[in-house]
């Protein structure tokens, strides 16, 4: 079945360590996104990518990095510079960049990765 796979579902890391969250999609979508979710704050955009080898900062990019070397993969690295990394991270994809509009505009989400830094 087509979809978005995030791994692992739960991740524990020591403070000061970098950690990479995986996101893979087999939907042949052009655009991919990373969101961070904290209780009572909704979802906040970290990074997004409209095409391979291109990505843009979202609203809270500090302390994070991404790459988009393949269409189906968009890994997120949480660096030691991120002051409050403990959160639920959601990856999403959309058929085309959202700015293109149209009836098929929507985002598909993975099941999330809960990162806990101790």
Query: Which residues of this protein are in contact with other proteins, per CB under 8 A?
Result: 4, 6, 9, 31, 33, 35, 40-45, 48, 50, 56, 58, 88, 90, 92, 97-99, 101-103, 105-112, 114
Smallest separation (angstroms) from other proteins to the CB of 105: 6
Smallest separation (angstroms) from other proteins to the CB of 41: 6
| Cβ closest to other proteins, residue 18 vs residue 57 | 57
CA dist., res. 74 & res. 71, Å (int): 8
CA dist., res. 81 & res. 117, Å (int): 13
Pairing of strands 113-117, 10-13: parallel
- Choose among 40, 42, 49: nearest CA to 92: 49
Smallest separation (angstroms) from other proteins to the CB of 92: 8
């Amino acid at each position: 079945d087509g979809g978005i796979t995030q791994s692992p579902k739960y991740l524990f890391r020591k403070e000061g360590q970098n950690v990479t969250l995986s996101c893979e999609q087999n939907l042949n979508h052009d655009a991919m996104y990373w969101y961070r979710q904290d209780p009572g704050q909704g979802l906040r955009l970290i990074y997004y990518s409209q095409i391979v080898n291109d990505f843009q900062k979202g609203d809270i990019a500090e302390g994070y990095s991404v790459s988009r070397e393949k269409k189906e993969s968009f890994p997120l690295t949480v660096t030691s510079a991120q002051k409050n990394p403990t959160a639920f991270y959601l990856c999403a994809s959309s058929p085309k960049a959202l700015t293109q509009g149209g009836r098929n505009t929507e985002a598909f989400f993975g099941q999330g990765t809960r990162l806990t830094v101790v």
